[in-house]
């Protein structure tokens, strides 16, 4: 990294990067991680590591993956681990459509047209904010916003790694924050509702329901805070540290679209508008064909499967643009565009194979689950003594809870899976102390987001490495860690402070949602 695109000043982050990149190739490193999990599963099984599921009461043991059954599973499911790796299919489908749009010249022309009008000083903030909003469509930000940010920064003569880092911070570091209700809101709310039943039995006291809008006010305010903080970190720290780009990836010069390109861009725009009109027609009516099975918009295939729509829109718009400007002459040209884009994933496929095995082994072994249970139980002991004033009780509890969640996120990537484990411990704890499940959920979401960008167990971490390697071939885990760590630190501090201020001002977390809880009177028989 040092001799390719940047010559950062020596310091803590320099040595983090240097040390991380001195490790083996990321694919080999994930293989080593996988082997380490196998050994730890054997040791944990021998030593009898176990814990109790907070919901079912079931005793959870470490699964020895080097046992007869474990070895059979490793052999039989290696291919399935790879092919079912969450981001793999999404990435391939998205890049097929983006390949058409890119090879036709649509993306380049659209970026040039956008940058010609957008104020340069606002580009960083706009990219980060777009990354934050993108989580309403699940994984869209990882596939589209991050690589696009690299292209935009490169076109502006800025380091593309800086652009991708800023976008990654918005997409993943601020994953819970949004000014819209995202697919994550009802998922976490459902788990919180179930956890609240452990204190407020619905048969005796009535149902305590945590709604998808439970944290809306706090998360909407957080969106702007995160965008501002990440912009400051990018401009004041990350960009000066990485310096100008001096790699060999050619820069796309900004040029004003020609008459024929403007015509193609306009036609492509009509294609996008046509798709949005069809989507609106399927979502707006109460019985719309594109609504979810339960009739909701949040559960609709539009949000849950937006990558398919992205493929259709980009491919269709790219085809229209390509034929308009003369880039495409025949159907084979369209397929060639898809082929060329998929070729860029060769190193990603290799990396994903080993990353998929590591994540699967970690899940099978139950090591992450036990770590979450043991940590939550340890923190529960503090919670039992966290009564008293807000300053001596609640605020220290919130700090420890956010810190614990941030740490656990380094080992378990799924937000819903972690909350399903620790929610039934912390939601009742907060309720018994007189604080609402919604407050526990808000604190969890802060901690669960801020370390997304520095953990290799994030399913898209491998993809971000590949994005960086497009511009700097020596990029590795150390590059990502050193670049993203300042964002994690800044987000942890600023977001936690915002939550504490929210608590001190006793502001509602969402519509009609208080931070306090009081057990209601029993229902009449």
Residues 340-350 pLDDT 10s: 878 777 777 88
How many Å apart are CA 140 and CA 346, to the nearest integer?
21
Q: CB–CB of 462/352 below 8 Å?
A: yes
Q: Which two tokens stand for residue 335?
A: 């397929």
**Rounded CA separation 359/253 (Å):** 40
pLDDT at residue 220, as a whole number: 94
Per-residue pLDDT, 13: 67
Task: Tell me the C-alpha distance between 309 and 302, whole Å.
Answer: 7
Q: What is the pLDDT of residue 5?
A: 44
| Max Cα–Cα distance, the chain, nearest Å | 76
Q: Is the pLDDT of residue 248 over 60?
A: yes
- HEC-encoded secondary structure of 496-512: HHHHHHHHHCCCCCECC
Q: Per-residue pLDDT tens for 262-317?
A: 999 999 999 999 999 999 999 888 888 988 877 777 677 877 777 788 889 989 99
Mean pLDDT for the chain overall:
85
Residues 6+ apart with CB under 8 A from 417: none
Gap between the Cα atoms of 101 and 334, Å rounded: 9
Phi first, then psi: what are they for 430, rounded to 5°?
-65, -40
Contact (CB, 8 A) for 450 and 492: yes
Phi first, then psi, for residue 180 (nearest 5°) are -120, 160
Per-residue HEC secondary structure of 234-300 comes to HHHHHHHHHCCCCCCCCCCCCCCCCHHHHHHHHHHHHHHHHHHHHHHHHHCCCCCCCCCCCCCCCCC
Residue 502 predicted with pLDDT over 90 = yes
Distance CA 500, CA 390 (A): 10
CA gap 171, 449 in Å, rounded: 10
Residue 176 has a CB neighbour count (10 Å cut-off) of: 29
For residue 414, pLDDT over 60 is answered with yes
pLDDT grade for 2, boundaries at 50, 70 and 90:
very low
Q: How far apart are CA 325 and CA 329, in angstroms?
A: 10
Note the pLDDT of residue 372: 74
The secondary structure of 412-452 as a DSSP string is ---HHHHHHHHHHHHHHHHHHTTB-HHHHHHHHHHHHHHTG
pTM (two decimals): 0.78
Give the three-class secondary structure for 42: helix
Quick one: average pLDDT of 396-407?
Answer: 91
């Amino acid at each position: 990294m040092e001799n390719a695109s940047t010559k950062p000043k020596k310091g803590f982050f320099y040595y983090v990067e240097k040390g991380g990149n001195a490790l083996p190739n990321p694919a080999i490193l994930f293989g080593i991680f996988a082997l380490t999990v196998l050994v730890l599963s054997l040791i944990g099984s021998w030593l009898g590591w176990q814990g109790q599921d907070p919901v079912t009461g079931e005793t959870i043991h470490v699964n020895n993956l080097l046992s007869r059954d474990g070895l059979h599973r490793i052999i039989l499911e290696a291919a399935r681990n790879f092919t079912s790796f969450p981001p793999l299919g999404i990435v391939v489908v998205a890049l097929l459509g983006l390949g058409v749009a890119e090879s036709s010249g649509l993306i380049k022309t659209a970026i040039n047209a956008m940058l010609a009008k957008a104020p340069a000083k606002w580009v960083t903030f706009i990219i980060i904010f777009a990354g934050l909003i993108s989580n309403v469509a699940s994984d869209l930000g990882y596939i589209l916003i991050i690589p696009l940010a690299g292209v935009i920064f490169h076109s502006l003569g800025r380091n593309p790694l800086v652009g991708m880092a800023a976008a990654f911070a918005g997409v993943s570091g601020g994953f819970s924050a949004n000014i819209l209700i995202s697919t994550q809101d009802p998922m976490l709310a459902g788990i919180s509702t179930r956890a609240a039943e452990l204190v407020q039995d619905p048969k005796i006291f009535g149902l305590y329901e945590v709604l998808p809008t439970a944290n809306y006010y706090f998360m909407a305010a957080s969106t702007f805070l995160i965008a501002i903080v990440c912009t400051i970190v990018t401009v004041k720290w990350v960009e000066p540290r990485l310096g100008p780009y001096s790699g060999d990836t050619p820069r796309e010069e900004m040029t004003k679209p020609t008459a024929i390109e403007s015509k193609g861009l306009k036609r492509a725009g009509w294609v996008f508008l046509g798709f949005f009109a069809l989507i609106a027609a399927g979502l707006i009516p109460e019985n719309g064909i594109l609504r979810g099975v339960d009739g909701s918009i949040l559960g609709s295939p539009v949000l849950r499967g937006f990558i398919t729509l992205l493929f259709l829109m980009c491919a269709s718009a790219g085809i229209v643009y390509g034929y308009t400007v003369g880039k495409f002459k025949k159907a084979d040209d369209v397929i060639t565009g898809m082929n060329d884009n998929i070729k860029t994933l060769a190193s990603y496929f290799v990396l994903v194979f080993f990353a998929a095995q590591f994540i699967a082994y970690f899940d099978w072994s139950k090591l992450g689950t036990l770590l979450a249970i043991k940590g939550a139980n340890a923190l529960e002991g503090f919670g039992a003594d966290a009564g008293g004033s807000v300053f001596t009780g609640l605020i220290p509890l919130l700090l420890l809870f956010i810190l614990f969640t941030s740490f656990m996120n380094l080992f378990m990537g799924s937000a819903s899976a972690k909350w399903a484990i620790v929610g039934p411990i912390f939601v009742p704890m907060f309720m018994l102390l007189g604080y609402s499940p919604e407050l526990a959920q808000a604190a969890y979401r802060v901690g669960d987001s801020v370390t997304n960008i520095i953990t290799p167990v994030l399913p898209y971490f491998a993809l971000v490495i590949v994005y960086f390697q497009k511009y700097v071939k020596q990029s590795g885990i150390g590059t990502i860690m050193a670049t993203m760590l300042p964002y994690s630190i800044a987000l942890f501090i600023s977001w936690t402070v915002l939550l504490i201020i929210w608590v001190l001002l006793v502001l509602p977390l969402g519509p009609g949602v208080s931070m306090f809880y009081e057990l209601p009177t029993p229902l009449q028989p």
